Amino acid sequence: MAGSSAASFSWRLSAPCSSASCSSGRTMGGVGVEAPLNLLNIKPNYSFEFDFEVNFDKDQNRLWMNRNWHTSVYWVGLYMLVVFGGQAYMAQRPAFKLTRPLQAWNVLLSVFSVVGACRTIPELIHVLREFGFFHSVCNNSYIEYDRVSGFWTWMFVLSKVPELGDTVFIILRKKELIFLHWYHHITVLMFSWYFYQQHIAPARWYVVMNYVVHSLMYSYFALRSFRVRMPRWIGVCITSLQIGQMLMGAYVTGLGFFTNKRGAASCAISERTALLAMFMYLSYFILFALFFYGAYLKPKRKVAAKAD
């Protein structure tokens, strides 16, 4: 997907900044400008850090992804076989209930998402408070200098493979499989693996937003799988948050793109990656908005009762 020149450009933008060249999020005339950072204060003061977080090696994982990101294409190919082949296989067969496996699946993903959100939100809040919004969008300190946030960014990227299992439950239970569902899964997987090679700065927002929304979404699915009746407005709120997530993703990516274009400051994202991300987020916005309209706003057709 990426040419060698684009890859080298992205790598250069995303390289760790030195103590003299790190920048904060101050603005001048509406454009972020660079100012020295205090590296001692670059990450939040976590109350505790797990050994697997402290020992996280971002460079080793980045190297692995540079060598293996194309594996995501194989996962997508296998996934599409399951999507279309699975539906054909189940067409003349009764649906599976899978109640207990579905409950376990949703609980597992909700717990994972909650933990991921709890471990990445502090870093975002910290840089917004200490260095400003521009830093949060254009400086990749979340992965270059923070092993906690870096580890959970890596977990976010890897989790896009097992999350494909959502679709297996839909197919085996013979529920409606809409285009938005499988399009979202394949594009998030491929783009997440692609952007991780570059340690792009706006991914700080992508990761936190995804963890937060998935915390709510999978918790909602888990409760429903346990037959807990959920008010309609909760589904409305979650879908609204997803739409907001897509708009914010497009905005922070666009800010990085135009910052580099204007040349007033540098933002750790290449032009090609920014264009891909903006296309992805805007396509999600359109699809989620259409889903929202169809699910919650479109008038339902009244079916005339048959005469006896």
The pLDDT of residue 113? 98
The pLDDT of residue 29? 33
Looking up tokens 């998030």 gives 188
20 pLDDT band, cuts 50/70/90, is: very low
Of the residues 70, 126, 181, 184, which is catalytic?
184
The pLDDT of residue 300? 76
16 pLDDT band, cuts 50/70/90, is: very low
Q: Is 185 a catalytic residue?
A: no
The pLDDT of residue 12? 32
98: left (phi over 0), alpha (psi -120 to 50) or beta: left
Integer Cα distance of 114 and 57 in angstroms: 23
37 pLDDT band, cuts 50/70/90, is: low
Q: Which residues contact 18 (CB under 8 A, 6 or more apart)?
A: none
71 pLDDT band, cuts 50/70/90, is: very high
Integer Cα distance of 208 and 71 in angstroms: 24
What is the pLDDT of the chain when averaged over all its residues? 87
Q: Does 49 have pLDDT greater than 50?
A: yes
Looking at residues 113-137, what average pLDDT do you find?
97
The pLDDT of residue 39? 64
Integer Cα distance of 210 and 159 in angstroms: 11
Question: Between these two residues, 182 and 301, which has the higher pLDDT value?
Answer: 182
The pLDDT of residue 302? 53
- Please report, for the chain, the start and end positions of each structural domain, with discontinuous segments joined by +: 69-296
pLDDT in tens, 155-174: 999 999 999 999 999 999 99
The pLDDT of residue 180? 97
Instruction: Please provide the DSSP assignment of 230-267 as one string.
Output: --HHHHHHHHHHHHHHHHHHHHHHHHHHHHHHHTSS--
The pLDDT of residue 42? 85
Q: Does 32 have pLDDT greater than 90?
A: no
The pLDDT of residue 41? 79
CA dihedral 233, 235, 238, 241 (to 10 degrees): -60
Read off the tokens for 16.
């760790």
